[in-house]
Structure 1
Amino acid sequence: MLNFKKIAIALVFSCLFFAVDKLSYIYPIGDLNITPWNPPAALEVLFLFWAGNSWMTWVYLTLGLSDSLVRGTLFLSPAVVLGNAVLVTCYAAIALTLRWTLAGRTALRNRHDVFLLGAVILCGALFTAMAYVGTQTWIGVLSTHDFLGAVHRFFIGDLLGLMVLLPLFFVAADKRRHMQYLQMFRSVLFWVLMLGLAICLWLIFSLPIEDQMKYFFSLFFVLGLIAATYSLPGATLVAALIQLPLVFSATRVGVQPADLMDMQIVMLSLSLTGLIIGTVVDERLRTEERLRDSLQLVAAGELAGSLAHELHQPMSALSAYAESALMLTELQKEKMTDAQQTQLVTMLRNVVNEALRATDIVRGLRSYFISGASSLQDTSVTHLVDECVARFAHKAAKADVALVTVYTHHEDHVLVDRVQISTALGNLLKNAIDASPSGAQVTVRVNADEKQMLSIRVIDQGTLLDADAADQVFRPFYSKKKDGLGLGLSVSRSLVENNGGVLRYQAHPEKCFQILLPLGDCVDE
């Protein structure tokens, strides 16, 4: 079945490719794709990253048609047929590597992602340059004397095109950064800095080509200010905008390829500087965000500690009253039938048990929020899970959701705070039931995971979390529920981590929240 959306985007890609290829076809070596600036390479990588390598044929045909329209070369000439096949294969390999290294995410979230992107671009551009120029040399289009010079020019052109456009795409495509862009465009300071950048560019490119290099340092100053103020969104946007006057300047009479190559190398250094500064500032902003989350959690902990102190006495009184009611029932049993007596005793005993359990929870959470203390004890995971599932059986039945437990583990005992882990697991079960449609199933699967960890997965059949929600679901006060406080998962993760474990969300192979707890051998270490 045809995907008309993809076809429409593919047509837009081809039209954009023709326009950009025409604009950047400056000082080529022969009629080949060897120019000092090659942004079409980034367009090919981005399209294949988004559409998948099944669209390599479309990219190949687009590249061949562009050669005919822009360069006037024959579509079926050996240089075009073999050269374009090499290019498309290399760019598809870069796109595939990016999908693998970034796990399919169209976002740069930390310095590790930025480093991986830079490494893939550097290695991919160098390999592509050597493969393409080597192919043209092998079929006789280029002489062996021109090999190194052609590789150098092709490498710089591809590297600059990829290094400018790919970070811009990955930052702009991140939904979490849309608010950053909105705040940046609304800022008066941003437009003042952009005006300063425009003045610098006008002054530099109005000079003779031999004098332009002397004043490029001013661009580093302006770009550094924008990157330090607006992090990656500002740095990547400005790095791309600076390329436009460079292209128009290169078309002027008297500009030599060697001068243009020097300018491109400076521009590459400029883009890398902005990317590094933006990444450092971005890390600082994320650290501040985590600090705010921690402070919010501390405030919630103080509130919880205060509530625990206030609730401790009423819970103790409730338990005492229930015990007294049981004693009175014994005295009045001759006035009731056996069935009535059994039912009343059972109900009162449940009240006593739940009151005692609530008291333990309040006491345990109070100790945790005040001092972070844990009362570690040898605990049967099977018994703990069964107990939690039994507590939520009534809620699941009312929601028409089936609760299922699956045990495939051998080592059943872990050293944890029973109250804390039970509270965390209870939160997960409650959320899973709330997220499941009527007639669905919630499965608790326990098995031994890698690295001597015991895995407890709470699997539901609700809607998968989108990328933005998955990133923020453990943040304090983040909730999409109408009456939710947004503290359940945040507190649950803190409780699990306080016991040396891990709580994480997984979308594949099935939607679940997973608790990983250290087994005995791991704890001993």
Structure 2
Amino acid sequence: MKQTSGLPQRLLQTLIYIAWSLAFVLLYVLLDWASYISPLRHLNVTLWNPAPALGLLYLMRRGRHALLALFVAIVSSELSVRGSPGSLPVTLWLSLVLTLSYGGIAALLKRHFPDSGLFSDRRGLLVWLTIIVTGSLISSLLFISQLLLAGLLTVDECANAIMHFWIGDSVGIFVTLPVLWWLQDEPRRLLFRKTLLRGETFAYASFTLLMLWIAFVPGAQANYRYFYVLFLPLVWAASRQGLSGAIFCIALLQIGLLLGGLLQQATDITLFELQMRTFLLALVGFLIGASVDEQRRAATELRHSLRLAAAGEMAGALAHELNQPLTALSAYGSACQQLLQRGGSEQQLHEVIHRMIGEAERAALVMRRLRDFFRTGATKLEQFALGELIASVVTPFREKAALTGMTFEIGEIPAVTIHGDPLQLGVVLRNLLANACEAVAASPHAPGRVSLSARIESGNRVVIEVADSGPGISSAIVDQLFEPFASTKSSGLGLGLAISRTIAEAHGGSLTAVLGSQGCFRLVLPIE
């Protein structure tokens, strides 16, 4: 039974493989026929050869089992499109050389780009380009050397033939393979379709046609010196839409340059020059597109990390700010139990319950205020005394200093009123004090000292300084301290200071680090 049921399954797989192979061979021959332009003398060597890009794509998708189909496709194309330069055995041998050469290029691409076979950043582009250019050069050297050994080419013709073959394959693969890959990959195909359906795409496509007209019609009278205008639509497409826009615009330019060169029948510019300019356009477009995509991915990752960091900061702030109302609720709950056990009066119970409701409302207010800031940056301003804010913040740090033997000093605090959000500013002060305590703990001169002081400056601003006896801040790192993910601690995310500065600036103030042999941060806030 197993053999009987397994036989149709293997037969079905074989039929599917044959169907895919036949479809591939047909597409390969059609693409080769469409691009068979300006061959070198009697040889099947052209300056534009995009068909190998389809072969590489098929090899990377199907693996080594696709080598036979590629060999059949090359032989079919040699016989039906290009015209075999030699006898049938020679044609078969040359086709085998090309098949193995393209197989080597596909294997290298698959090895360095196992997930997609295509570059997604600038470094990947350079590796991808190196494989394409080097592989095409080796392929051209092998192919032309076999023509020379077969007596189909003279030694004097070798250099020109190698250049033709190398440029044709390199440019054809470099420009065509990204388009084919994006069309066969479903996620990229959807993105490509969205790109094509945008109004901006129609705008820069029309602009591309206009620039092609300028390059070939008025440019023909100036010996084709206006080709630099073709960079304008390419930069537009790549900078706005990344790689998807660059790939589409480059494909449009490639077709336009070839058609323009053939229709104009220009003698002042050769197909070789057109292909080299296409190569440079593609290289610039891919570099810009890859850079734009890299920047967008980095920005997305940064926003995600900042949201996570903001959640961490909010959790820490909530834990601290909710501690007091939760402690009070617990105390009031115990008081209610005692009153019930002792038979307390109804008025006393009402009074304790009223206080419990007040503390619960305070806890809810804390949560709403911190949540609104970390989600939208909104602040709810109110007037409060600076001394009250500092007193509410320093309590846990006093207790920590007493346990570790660290000296914790609070200087004279001026009696000023601040118009701001005490919850958010409390987050800033706690961050600064926590950093100072950690710096002192890591210092060899432990237990050390942490101090907080304040003074009025210019009559309308208060300067709050948090200093410590730690190692201090050097000029080498001062510019990076407030950047996201810049941390001098091995376990730190490097986001506390960045968020603290954001809060300070949202209040019309500033947060800076003071250079010196010991740590010092300066928070400046407007006062009433």
TM range (shorter): 0.5 to 0.7
Cα gap change, 1:63 to 1:87, in 2 (>3 Å): same
Q: Which residue of 1 aligns with 2:300?
A: 289
Instruction: Please give the alpha-carbon distance, in whole angstroms, between the structure 2 residues aligned to 1:302 and 1:86.
Output: 63
Amino acid at match of 1:270: L
Aligned runs of 1:410-429 on 2, under 5 Å? Answer: none
Contact 1:37–1:160 (8 Å) recurs in 2 = yes
Q: Which residue of 1 aligns with 2:125?
A: 114
Contact 2:67–2:99 (8 Å) recurs in 1 = yes
Contact 1:64–1:75 (8 Å) recurs in 2 = no
Shift of 1:9: 3.4
Cα gap change, 1:126 to 1:44, in 2 (>3 Å): same
Q: Which residue of 2 aligns with 1:69?
A: 80
Instruction: Please give the alpha-carbon distance, in whole angstroms, between the structure 2 residues aligned to 1:199 and 1:32.
Output: 36
Shift of 1:90: 0.5
SS in 2 for 1:213: coil
Shift of 1:158: 0.7
Instruction: Please give the alpha-carbon distance, in whole angstroms, between the structure 1 residues aligned to 2:153 and 2:436.
Output: 73
Contact 1:205–1:212 (8 Å) recurs in 2 = no
Contact 2:215–2:230 (8 Å) recurs in 1 = no
1:156 and 2:159 matched: no
Q: Which residue of 2 aligns with 1:279?
A: 290
Q: Which residue of 1 aligns with 2:149?
A: 138
Structure 2: runs of 5+ lacking an equivalent: 1-9, 334-426, 439-489, 494-528
SS in 2 for 1:52: helix
Shift of 1:6: 4.5
Q: 1:219 aligns with which of 207, 210, 230?
A: 230
Instruction: Please give the alpha-carbon distance, in whole angstroms, between the structure 2 residues aligned to 1:206 and 1:22.
Output: 28
1:22 and 2:22 matched: no
Amino acid at match of 1:73: S
Cα gap change, 1:35 to 1:373, in 2 (>3 Å): farther
- Which whole-Å deviations, capped at 9, do the CAs of 1:485-511 have from their partners, x for residues lacking one? xxxxxxxxxxxx9499xxxxxxxxxxx
SS in 1 for 2:114: coil
Q: 2:207 aligns with which of 191, 196, 210?
A: 196
Q: Which residue of 2 aligns with 1:85?
A: 96
Structure 1: runs of 5+ lacking an equivalent: 322-365, 376-496, 501-525
Contact 1:205–1:249 (8 Å) recurs in 2 = yes
Shift of 1:98: 0.5
Q: What is the RMSD of the two structures over their aligned residues, measured on CA atoms?
A: 3.9
| TM-score normalised to structure 2 length | 0.56
Shift of 1:309: 3.7
Shift of 1:120: 0.6
Q: Which residue of 2 aligns with 1:461?
A: none
Amino acid at match of 2:125: V
Cα gap change, 1:179 to 1:56, in 2 (>3 Å): closer
Aligned runs of 1:492-511 on 2, under 5 Å? Answer: 498=491
Cα gap change, 1:9 to 1:373, in 2 (>3 Å): farther
Contact 1:42–1:165 (8 Å) recurs in 2 = yes
- Which whole-Å deviations, capped at 9, do the CAs of 1:220-273 have from their partners, x for residues lacking one? 111111111111111111111222233334444845697111111111111111
Contact 1:108–1:174 (8 Å) recurs in 2 = no
Amino acid at match of 2:179: L
Contact 2:238–2:288 (8 Å) recurs in 1 = yes
Shift of 1:183: 4.8
Contact 2:57–2:181 (8 Å) recurs in 1 = no
Shift of 1:76: 5.4
Q: Which residue of 1 aligns with 2:505?
A: none
Q: How many residues align?
A: 339
Instruction: Please give the alpha-carbon distance, in whole angstroms, between the structure 1 residues aligned to 2:167 and 2:437.
Output: 58
Contact 1:372–1:498 (8 Å) recurs in 2 = no
Shift of 1:177: 4.8
Cα gap change, 1:29 to 1:316, in 2 (>3 Å): farther
Contact 1:48–1:95 (8 Å) recurs in 2 = yes
Cα gap change, 1:316 to 1:77, in 2 (>3 Å): farther
Contact 2:258–2:274 (8 Å) recurs in 1 = no
Q: 2:257 aligns with which of 246, 264, 284?
A: 246
Instruction: Please give the alpha-carbon distance, in whole angstroms, between the structure 1 residues aligned to 2:267 and 2:34.
Output: 17
Q: Which residue of 1 aligns with 2:137?
A: 126
Cα gap change, 1:16 to 1:315, in 2 (>3 Å): farther
Higher Cα Rg: structure 1 or 2? Answer: 2
Amino acid at match of 1:126: L
Amino acid at match of 2:236: L
1:228 and 2:225 matched: no
- Which whole-Å deviations, capped at 9, do the CAs of 1:377-436 have from their partners, x for residues lacking one? xxxxxxxxxxxxxxxxxxxxxxxxxxxxxxxxxxxxxxxxxxxxxxxxxxxxxxxxxxxx
Shift of 1:45: 1.1
- Which whole-Å deviations, capped at 9, do the CAs of 1:141-179 have from their partners, x for residues lacking one? 111110111011111111100110223344556666566
Q: Which residue of 2 aligns with 1:445?
A: none
Amino acid at match of 1:61: V
SS in 1 for 2:311: helix
Farther off after superposition, 258-267 or 121-130: 258-267
Amino acid at match of 2:274: M
SS in 2 for 1:36: coil
Contact 2:207–2:233 (8 Å) recurs in 1 = yes
Cα gap change, 1:77 to 1:374, in 2 (>3 Å): farther
Q: Which residue of 1 aligns with 2:177?
A: 166
Amino acid at match of 1:55: A
Instruction: Please give the alpha-carbon distance, in whole angstroms, between the structure 1 residues aligned to 2:437 and 2:16.
Output: 55
Shift of 1:104: 3.8
Shift of 1:281: 1.6
Contact 1:83–1:132 (8 Å) recurs in 2 = yes
Instruction: Please give the alpha-carbon distance, in whole angstroms, between the structure 1 residues aligned to 2:317 and 2:289.
Output: 42
Amino acid at match of 2:78: D
Q: Which residue of 2 aligns with 1:437?
A: none
Q: Which residue of 1 aligns with 2:516?
A: none
Shift of 1:295: 2.0
Contact 2:59–2:103 (8 Å) recurs in 1 = yes
Instruction: Please give the alpha-carbon distance, in whole angstroms, between the structure 2 residues aligned to 1:297 and 1:90.
Output: 49
Instruction: Please give the alpha-carbon distance, in whole angstroms, between the structure 2 residues aligned to 1:5 and 1:309.
Output: 66
Contact 2:216–2:264 (8 Å) recurs in 1 = no
Farther off after superposition, 105-114 or 221-230: 105-114
Cα gap change, 1:107 to 1:21, in 2 (>3 Å): closer
Amino acid at match of 1:133: I
